[in-house]
Structure 1
Amino acid sequence: MKTKAVRMYGKNDLRLEEFELPPLQPGEILARVVSDSLCMSSYKAAIQGSGHKRVPADIDQKPVLLGHELCGEILQVGAKWEGRFSPGQRFSIQPALNYRGSLDAPGYSYRYIGGNATCVIIPEEVMEMDCLLEYQGDAFFLGSLAEPISCVAGAFHANYHTTQGSYDHSMGIVEGGKTAILAGVGPMGLAAIDYAIHNPRRPGLLVVTDIDQERLDRAARVYTVEDARNHGVDLHYVNTSRGESEQALLDLTGGTGYDDVFVFAPVRSVLEQGDRLLGHDGCLNFFAGPSNSDFRAELNFYEVHYSAHHLVGTSGGNTDDMREALDLMGRGLVNPAGMITHVGGLNAVIETTLNLPSIPGGKKLIYTHKNLPLVAIDEFAERGKNEPFYAGLAEICEKHNNIWSIEAEEYLLREAPEI
């Protein structure tokens, strides 16, 4: 079977190509990808090439497929997995396989599996590590967003707290406590807001900061203060570029500081501010992975010693986190559709991936069988004045608070041109 896919041959060398997949082996599964959401991690892999820890050294001769937030349908099952999987099943994948201690992962390391493709071969180690997960939802895009939601879940689970006189660590954020999400209205920050409000273990106070008022306003429309209050969370959005002092952020805690602080941008000043906002036994989670291997910031080790401040860093979730994400979405408790701000086809992947940091907004969602430019949802109406396809999309999105939806996806899959 032929596939069309974005392959990486080196630093900043991405190519959209059509090629033949090899014959299916007994331990493999052939699948059709429908959607993939683009991740900043793919941008980092693209600019680093073989310098990235997950990318093989010989990609100039054996290119790999990019994209790891994929959702699709199984087409053919190798003999080894018959009875466990079947054609027609929808799936999502946990890319962090941890197979025999290797960092290899779909979307970074493999020649025939990645999200930015029309069809892929799922290698047997994915199934052996129980990382091919059945997805029973109606919307493919939600299956694609399960991986980023799992990363947020993993971050919230990885935070920990201590009890004086004991060496036991209590894992997870402080339930009913005080949480801050700094630089928190980008794609992953939006997921963190959604998760913090709607997962079963919630903070009592949630403060979200950023320096972009437009993005803060959109976040407040999608994840409202009123909805948070209905779930027992006192939510505040704060623009730290408007003279809002650090003291004002501390005042929201009653002067105690925060139990849990998440930093969603690899910016030294933001990380150092997060350190200063911690209260006693506060946990600082550096979520945003930097591209610069020499990235540094100053931390107050006096407070580490006397106030039990501590630091963790997370870069992904595990398979249990993926299952949690799929379960929360399946039960309607979290709705990560608000993360999506742009939609495009496979033809838009290369330019979008290589310019991802400079494209405003949230998640960029790709439908891999479609030929569409990357367009912001907020621009659908304007394009619709001359293009009936976008007029239809604008009408649908307007009915859903200008948020992507299963209705919009079904329309796109039916009406958009094939690649």
Structure 2
Amino acid sequence: MNSIGLRIHGKKDMRVEQFELPEINDDEILATVVSDTMCMSSWKLAQEGEDHKKTPDNLDKNPALVGHEFSGKILKVGKKWADKYQVGDDYAIQPNLARDDTPFVPGYSYPYIGGDATAVIIPNEVMALDCLVPFHGQAYYEGSLCEPLSCVIAAFEAQFHLIPHTYNHKMGIKANGNVLMLGGTGPMGLLAIDYALHAGVKPKNLVVTDIDQSKLDRAKQLYPSDDVNVSFVNVNGLSVEEQKAKLKAVVGGDGFDDIFCMISVPALVTMSGELLNPDGCLNQFAGPMHKDFTAQLNFYDVHYNFTHVAGTSGGNAQNEATAAQLIAERKVNVAKVITHVLGLDAAAETTLTQPEIGGGKKLVYSQKKFDRIELAKVDPKSGLGQVLAKHDGLWSPEAEQWIMANMPDITTADTANH
């Protein structure tokens, strides 16, 4: 069957094209994609092209499908998986296959699987590693956002603290402790705030920083809490020493037990180490762009105060399943991170200009054709505007249904090779 998808051919060379999907093998699954949410990782992929660690060397001859936060419906199941998956099932994908033999993953490496496509072939290794996750939420965008939420869950679970009087560790953030999120008002930061407020283990104090007051104000509005003391701190224009003093003052002069550095700035990583309490854990959450990214760490504190460092790159299959359950049970409202929606025809330009566009998650409806829409600027008198108004301006299952009913399908005429 034919599929239409966004493929990367090289550095900054992304094209929406039609291509033929072969017949699936007995160990593969054919599926539609309904939605995909964009990640800055796809922007980094576009910048690096064939130099990216997850792409094949010959992208110019064998382009890869883009998009790794996607959800859709199963169309056909190879006989190997017929007892586990059924035609008509909705699914979410955990693209981080965590294989030892290859770095290749969906959305970066394969010719026939990526979220910015109308139809895909899911290869055997995805099912073999339990990375095809059944999804029972109310809308496909929720399925797409299982992947970024799984990254947050992985980071929280990777934190570790000493069990008293031993050198053994208990995994996860410190219960009733102090948590700091540096640069925490981006889409991943917002998901992390949501998870910190609603997971089983909660901090006493959660401090979130940024240099943009409007983003801090929006986060404060979106995430009120009666259980956790949440503070949103503007550090714009402050030196590192001024930031340290201000952040300690917020928690009564103490330091922090868990710090998530959601930006890659060496001075802030070093500052994070200096803000750790004894047995505190620093998580470098943001993926650095450059392989030589380094920062100073006080090894006196490592030795005598037992401070330590963690880092995670993506989630795993279990994290994805946990995310799917939290979303389906309405414990986490992932719609709060969506600020733009678009059709597949706008996916290339949007991927390449994510930093300039700003805002939160960009949600692609892979079957549809329409220009990018900024939710905050939708005419409140329009059909979509009236739907948004019913949900306090947030995306919703009803808004998704409106898109599916009112926006045209993408066709071959809309592709680069029609």
| TM-score, structure 1 as length reference | 0.94
In 2, Cα distance between equivalents of 1:121 and 1:12: 25
TM-superposed CA distance for 1:245, in Å, is 3.9
In 2, Cα distance between equivalents of 1:39 and 1:11: 17
Q: Is the 8 A contact 2:138 2:328 kept in 1?
A: no
Q: Is the 8 A contact 2:98 2:316 kept in 1?
A: no
Indicate yes or no: 2:160 matched with 1:160: yes
The CA RMSD over aligned residues, in Å, is 1.4
TM-superposed CA distance for 1:242, in Å, is 6.2
Between the two structures, name the one with larger relative contact order (CA 8 Å, sep ≥ 6).
2
1:25-47 deviation per Cα after TM superposition (whole angstroms, max 9, x unaligned): 11111100000000111111111
Q: Which residue of the partner structure matches residue 71 of structure 1?
A: 71
TM-superposed CA distance for 1:174, in Å, is 0.3
In 1, Cα distance between equivalents of 2:115 and 2:281: 34
Q: Which residue of the partner structure matches residue 173 of structure 1?
A: 173
TM-superposed CA distance for 1:128, in Å, is 1.0
Q: Which residue of the partner structure matches residue 25 of structure 2?
A: 25
Helix, strand or coil at the partner of 1:260: strand
What letter matches 2:409 in structure 1? E
Q: Is the 8 A contact 1:344 1:374 kept in 2?
A: yes
Q: Which residue of the partner structure matches residue 146 of structure 1?
A: 146
Q: Is the 8 A contact 2:113 2:122 kept in 1?
A: yes
Greater mean alpha carbon deviation, residues 51-60 or residues 246-255: 246-255
Q: Is the 8 A contact 1:199 1:328 kept in 2?
A: no
Helix, strand or coil at the partner of 2:369: coil
What letter matches 1:363 in structure 2? K
1:51-73 deviation per Cα after TM superposition (whole angstroms, max 9, x unaligned): 11111111111111011100000
Q: Which residue of the partner structure matches residue 407 of structure 2?
A: 416
Q: 2:286 aligns with which of 257, 270, 288?
A: 288
Aligned length: 407
In 1, Cα distance between equivalents of 2:370 and 2:122: 26
Unaligned segments of structure 1, at least 5 residues: 386-390
Q: Is the 8 A contact 1:143 1:326 kept in 2?
A: yes
In 1, Cα distance between equivalents of 2:338 and 2:260: 21
In 2, Cα distance between equivalents of 1:273 and 1:400: 40
Q: 1:271 aligns with which of 269, 272, 278?
A: 269
Q: Which residue of the partner structure matches residue 204 of structure 1?
A: 204
Helix, strand or coil at the partner of 1:73: strand
Helix, strand or coil at the partner of 1:99: coil
TM-superposed CA distance for 1:252, in Å, is 2.3
Q: Which residue of the partner structure matches residue 393 of structure 1?
A: 384
Q: Which residue of the partner structure matches residue 230 of structure 2?
A: 235
Q: 1:357 aligns with which of 344, 355, 371?
A: 355
In 2, Cα distance between equivalents of 1:380 and 1:139: 21
Q: Is the 8 A contact 2:129 2:317 kept in 1?
A: no
TM-superposed CA distance for 1:256, in Å, is 2.3
In 2, Cα distance between equivalents of 1:152 and 1:282: 18
What letter matches 2:339 in structure 1? T
In 1, Cα distance between equivalents of 2:289 and 2:305: 31
Q: Which residue of the partner structure matches residue 83 of structure 1?
A: 83
In 2, Cα distance between equivalents of 1:315 and 1:357: 20
Q: Is the 8 A contact 1:345 1:373 kept in 2?
A: yes
Q: Which residue of the partner structure matches residue 388 of structure 1?
A: none
Q: 1:402 aligns with which of 387, 393, 398?
A: 393
1:101-125 deviation per Cα after TM superposition (whole angstroms, max 9, x unaligned): 4221100111100000000000111
Indicate yes or no: 2:252 matched with 1:258: no
Q: Is the 8 A contact 1:199 1:334 kept in 2?
A: no
Q: Which residue of the partner structure matches residue 123 of structure 1?
A: 123
Q: Which residue of the partner structure matches residue 190 of structure 2?
A: 190
In 1, Cα distance between equivalents of 2:126 and 2:301: 43
Greater mean alpha carbon deviation, residues 198-207 or residues 99-108: 99-108
Q: Which residue of the partner structure matches residue 368 of structure 2?
A: 370
In 2, Cα distance between equivalents of 1:311 and 1:217: 30
Helix, strand or coil at the partner of 1:288: coil
Q: Is the 8 A contact 1:33 1:72 kept in 2?
A: yes
Q: Which residue of the partner structure matches residue 413 of structure 2?
A: none
Helix, strand or coil at the partner of 2:378: helix
Greater mean alpha carbon deviation, residues 292-301 or residues 236-245: 236-245
Q: Is the 8 A contact 1:24 1:30 kept in 2?
A: yes
Q: Which residue of the partner structure matches residue 16 of structure 1?
A: 16
Helix, strand or coil at the partner of 2:107: coil
In 1, Cα distance between equivalents of 2:50 and 2:201: 39
Helix, strand or coil at the partner of 2:23: coil
1:360-402 deviation per Cα after TM superposition (whole angstroms, max 9, x unaligned): 1111110001111122110112xx67xxxxx111111122121
Q: 2:303 aligns with which of 296, 302, 305?
A: 305
TM-superposed CA distance for 1:16, in Å, is 0.7
What letter matches 2:269 in structure 1? L
| TM-score, structure 2 as length reference | 0.94
Helix, strand or coil at the partner of 1:193: helix
In 1, Cα distance between equivalents of 2:377 and 2:14: 27
Q: Is the 8 A contact 1:37 1:70 kept in 2?
A: yes
Greater mean alpha carbon deviation, residues 20-29 or residues 189-198: 20-29
TM-superposed CA distance for 1:299, in Å, is 2.2
